Amino acid sequence: MSLARLGAPALLGLVLAQGAVAEPADPTDTAVEDRLRARDDRIEELERKLETLADELSRVRTQVAVPEEAGLKSAYGLGPAASKIYGIERGLSIGGYAEAFYTNFVGDDDAGSDSVGGVPISDEVLDRSDFLRMVMYLGYKFNESILFNSEIEYEHATTEATSSAGGGSVSVEFAALDFLWKEWANPRVGLLLLPMGFLNEVHEPPFFNGVQRPETERRIIPTTWRENGMGLFGRFGEELEYRTYVVTGFNARGFSDAGVRGGRQQGDRALAEDLAWVTRLDWTPIPELLLGGSYYVGDSGQDQTVAGVDIPGARLNLFEVHGQYRRGRLDARSVFAMSFLSDARELTNALGLAANRPVADEMLGAYVEVAYDVWDLFFNGGKYLAPFVRVEYVDTQYDVPSDFTANRNRAFWLVTPGITFKPHPNVVLKLEYRNFNPREGEIPDELSIGMGLAF
């Protein structure tokens, strides 16, 4: 654009000079007047073309360059960085996030030297540093109503095994085709994030406190949880927002005393004999307050057999309720989640699990978290510095079938104080101390520092 504008005066000067040399001495000559008018027309046409070229160069520069963003905003239940595609008119959208941490394991005062929670100590409790994930969001908007959005995740820095750990992975976290039809009804199909809790959909590190995600949203709501499916999402005015999907169900062969997380099929050649339904509703009565809940139900047996033994239907009912209040410097949120599994006894026997490590009939988890931004109390500049504390209870063996013994190491209180610092709205540095208090056995505490970003 700048070259075009700099060249315009030179070109105009050249045309004027050529016209001045070519003009005869007699200004009353009709032919001269015609030539002058033709010259003026040529100059006007040249100016128009130069202006068009300058506008086109400016447009291309704007499209190619990555604009500076003061902040990102969530849309349709997705994380702020994942929502960029909804803010463009057409074409390609690129975003992403990354997070890394260092954890120092701290033994409890009464912890034995040879076991953690009844399990022999291994390299799992040695201090760790991990570039946990690097994620790319790729989206394409075909027109104003059809778009594709996806998340590709690279975990643990490399897919090769090292002398310290096995290889990481590359996974598609979600990949959905949206049809923006009506504000209150928009179809979505593909590999979908299940809309439960706060973090299964919005898990970008600048937008939650703590280095590690809450255990309730890892063990009871098995973040990151995605399945193939289809459904609808939309809003009713400014106060109500919903999502409802039919998806492939769990595979009960992956269930254990640790919960249902191992039963996620993650879109990988998923068995589809048993489907499930999940729905969510959020209510925002005032801008500062969010109240909502979600519900999942579906069989998990997938018509399988293990060593000639039929796996039962294993219907899972999972619900959660959540609330969040944000006003001024205060940010508070809470989640309560509980699940009910049918045929837990039959499933435990079919899977050949130990009598003291059964699949539970019921699981329960809940936490309350409060953060308060103190930056403006001490400094200028509009940054974010928030001490926070999270109190949590998790029990993946809350109720087990009769004749089985619950693994009480799977039940624990967890208190997590920490600090979240944002030098930029999309960049975060974190510090936390996780104090585990299991019902039985010992679990070492964790002191962690972490970094994260989204764009």
417 and 310, same structural domain? yes
Report pLDDT for 26: 54
248 and 381, same structural domain? yes
Tell me the pLDDT of the chain averaged across its residues.
89
Q: Compute CA distances 262 → 124, 276, 336, 397, whole Å.
A: 18, 17, 21, 15
Give yes or no for residue 57 having a pLDDT over 80.
no
Report pLDDT for 285: 98
216 and 98, same structural domain? yes
152 and 13, same structural domain? no
CATH of the domain at 96: 2.40.160.10
Report pLDDT for 108: 60
Report pLDDT for 63: 54
Residue 72 lies in a domain: no
When divided into structural domains, the chain yields a total of: 2
Residue 421 lies in a domain: yes
In DSSP notation, 10-50 reads: HHHHHHHHHHHHH--S-TT-HHHHHHHHHHHHHHHHHHHHH
116 and 31, same structural domain? no
Residue 391 lies in a domain: yes
pLDDT digits (tens, 9 = 90+) for 187-243: 999 999 999 999 999 999 999 999 999 999 999 999 999 999 999 999 999 999 999
Residue 220 lies in a domain: yes
92 and 52, same structural domain? no
Higher pLDDT, 186 or 9: 186
Residue 69 lies in a domain: no
Find the domain containing 356 and state its range: 81-454
Crossing angle of helices 30-64 and 2-22, rounded to 10°: 170
227 and 350, same structural domain? yes
Report pLDDT for 56: 72
Q: d(Cα 390, Cα 419) in Å, to the nearest integer?
A: 11
340 and 409, same structural domain? yes
Give yes or no for residue 169 having a pLDDT over 80.
yes
pTM: 0.84
60 and 109, same structural domain? no
371 and 425, same structural domain? yes
Residue 204 lies in a domain: yes
13 and 139, same structural domain? no
What does the pLDDT average to over 73-78?
A: 93
140 and 37, same structural domain? no
